[in-house]
Structure 1
Amino acid sequence: MNTRNILITGILLVIGIAIIYTITGTESEEFYQETIQKERERQYKFLKYGMDSPLTDKQKSDFQELEYYPIDPSYKVRAKMVPVEDRKMLELPMTDGTVEKYLKHSFAEFELNGQKISLLLLQAAKESDKRNFFLAFADATSGEETYGGGRYLNLRQDGKNSITIDFNLAYNPYCAYNPDYACPLPPKENILEIPVLAGEKDYKKE
């Protein structure tokens, strides 16, 4: 089974997305909408034409579009980073039954739709840039409108003790498109009871 890690591709996008966050913090809502839409178009082109795309040749041929929730600026939040008291490596289960190691780094604390939320920020064991983080989460839409194994965000710390989280950029792991890939499952700390109506919806296989 091909167990290629989706983070390899995701990390390459972190710097670009961080720039998006910086720009959209001061620009108009129209510009923000355009920026998110461009990122979605980039994701489509990667899946459709990319050499490292998880789609098979047959899937690429049939692939027409990705489904998303409407872009909603309220799902872009500023979170306080609270360090984990006893930082240690976490063996995160993969979809194929294996495990992959991540550092339990910080909790991102914020409010979303009037509710206080705390999500665990992870760092890949081999991550060289200590401002890059991985967030895997599941919510009330998982297994319904979104992929049952959860969705991902690649984040970059943009403040001394804070980080921007934009759920409009939430994307599916490779295994949502192709079961030959093994992907990390969200830790128990990141399983939300509320729906996150933002980001990518489940991939509909033809």
Structure 2
Amino acid sequence: MKSSHILIVVVSFVVLAAVAYMFTAAESPEAYNEKVEKERERQFKFIKFNVESPLNEEQRRSFQLLTFYDINPLYRVKARLIPIENKKVREVPLTDGSKEKYIEHSYAEFELGGQTNKLLLLQSVKETDMRNFFLAFADETSGKETYGGGRFLNVRQDGKNSITIDFNLAYNPYCAYNPDYACPLPPKENLMTIAIEAGEKNYDK
């Protein structure tokens, strides 16, 4: 099996701009949509052309597009950051049965889908920027319109006690494209009971 840390490092590069930029209240809907579209185009080019793509040669030849939900600003939420006082190292299960270590850092609490949601933010034990977090989640679309093993987001703290979570930027793990990769599974805290109809849909093999 190919190591999951390659998945996180490489795909993090694909969505680096998504992690780096912060949206402001003054940003127009057009400008926001353009930023998301650029991220999606960058992701497509990476999957199609990059030597680190999870696709094998046969897949690349037939690969034409990634499929996404329409961009919906309602799925870009401002969450309250709730630090975990006694931070622990969690061994997160991977799809191949192995485990990878992350720090249980904080919870992100927000309103969406008519309810209060609270997701666990993990931080790689190798992370050097303490404002960056890894978010793996599953929702009511998982196994239907989206990948059954959940989707990922790289998020960055943008306030003293807040963080922006933009589900329009949710992307598939490498194992959604190629089972030879081992991917982190969403923690039980992040199994959402609402449908997140935003971000990347399932890869059509």
Q: Tell me the TM-score range normalised by the shorter chain.
A: over 0.9
Partner of 2:9: 8
**SS of equivalent residue, structure 1 residue 196:** coil
The answer for unaligned runs of 5 or more in structure 1 is: none
Letter in 1 for 2:187: P
Amino acid at match of 2:8: L
Which residue of structure 2 lines up, in the alignment, with residue 74 of structure 1? Answer: 74
- Aligned to 2:38, what secondary structure does the other structure show? helix
Identity rate, percent: 59
Deviation track 1:12-70 (CA, whole Å, cap 9, x = no partner) reads 35652244323x54211011111111110100000000111000011111000111111
Contact kept in structure 1, 2:139 and 2:193, CA below 8 Å: yes
Q: Is the 8 A contact 1:88 1:103 kept in 2?
A: yes
Alignment partner, residue 162 of structure 1: 162
- Find runs of 4+ consecutive structure 1 residues off by over 2 angstroms: 10-15, 18-22
- Does residue 133 of structure 2 align to residue 133 of structure 1? yes
Evaluate the alpha carbon distance shift between residue 56 and residue 15 of structure 1 in structure 2; reply closer, same or farther with a 3 A threshold: closer
Note the residue ranges of structure 2 that are not aligned, 5 or more in a row. Answer: none
Q: Which amino acid aligns with 2:48?
A: K
Question: Does residue 41 of the first structure (1) align with residue 64 of the second (2)?
Answer: no
1:85 aligns with 2:82: no
Contact 1:147 1:176 in 2 (8 A): yes
Separation of aligned partners in 2, 1:15 and 1:61 = 26
In 2, Cα distance between equivalents of 1:10 and 1:44: 11
1:115, CA displacement in angstroms?
1.2
User: Structure 2 matches for 1:166-181, cutoff 5 A?
Assistant: 166-181=166-181
Equivalent-residue separation in structure 2 for 1:202 and 1:15 (angstroms): 22
Cα distance, 1:2 vs structure 2 = 1.5
2:119 is equivalent to residue 119 of structure 1: yes
Report SS of the residue matched to 1:43. Answer: helix
SS at match of 2:128: coil
